[in-house]
Amino acid sequence: MLENNAASVISLTTQNQKLKMSLDTNKKELQQTCQKRALELRSCDLKVASLRDSIKDTLFNARIQFDYAERWLCARAESVDLQYQVRPVAPAPQPDHEHCVHNELLRAYNLQIKEREDLLQYWKTRYATDTADIDVKLRDKYEKVRVTVARREEMEKLYNAHEGEMRAWLTFKKERAARLAREAKLRTAATRIQAWWRGVMVRRGLGVYRHLRNIKKPGAKTKKK
């Protein structure tokens, strides 16, 4: 029985170690997967931000070009109408009208370029700050993981060092429990035997209870003469 129990304890310990190893492997794989997904999400966010900025720039440039072309066409149409009109109704356009429109468009372009440069500088600064914060967080996480791994290795070494003592203690506990149960069983049996024998001695007046033979029992019937 003890050999079977020891074999079962050894098999359970081996199974526990295998489960712990598989759990550690799953944890490492999960952490690597989380880190990979975080990096992918970060790269996707950067791509989305860059695409959004490029789309906004393209739309704004197209709108400005369209406005410029429309105003230029209107100005050219007015100039052609004035050239071929027999009776000019409206006053002649100013000779520098196109030059004024061009200057206004250039001013708008310069303002937009300045805004884009300021926005680009802001995003560069924010990117540098976020990268530094992420590096600090990653270093902290790495330090925590390193401490946890060292602690786990230390606990594993301690467990391996005291594995024999643990097995010996489990065996001792089982043997002690069996011995105590056997002693309790023997004590109960001895108590019952002693109680039975004492009852026999009292009823028959044996040994130290010999004086009870001369004592008449209450309510005893007397023989008829």
List pLDDT tens digits, range 150-174: 999 999 988 888 888 888 999 999 9
Mean local confidence (pLDDT), 21-49: 88
Is 56 inside any structural domain?
yes
Report the percent of the chain where pLDDT is more than 90.
Answer: 34
Does position 219 have pLDDT exceeding 70, yes or no? no
Q: Which residue has the tokens 């108590």?
A: 191
Give a three-class secondary structure readout of 116-170.
HHHHHHHHHHHHHHHHHHHHHHHHHHHHHHHHHHHHHHHHHHHHHHCHHHHHHHH
Please check whether residue 196 lies inside any domain of the structure. no
The pLDDT assigned to 133 comes to 94
Read off the tokens for 207.
């040994």
- Would you say residue 78 lies in a domain? yes
Mean pLDDT of 23-39: 89
Q: What's the whole-number average pLDDT of the chain? A: 85
Please report whether residue 120 resides in a domain: yes
Residue 188 within any structural domain of the chain: no
Domain count, the chain: 1
Q: Which two tokens stand for residue 208?
A: 């130290």
Quote the tokens at residue 22. 């598989």
Q: Please say if the pLDDT value at position 213 is more than 80.
A: no
End-to-end alpha carbon distance in the chain: 70
Instruction: Give me the domain span that covers residue 55.
Output: 2-161
Say what the pLDDT of residue 95 is. Answer: 59
pLDDT band for position 87 (cuts 50, 70, 90)? low
In this structure, the dihedral spanned by the alpha carbons of residues 153, 157, 163 and 166, taken in order and rounded to 10 degrees, is: -80
Q: Is residue 68 part of a domain?
A: yes
Amino acid found at 22 = S
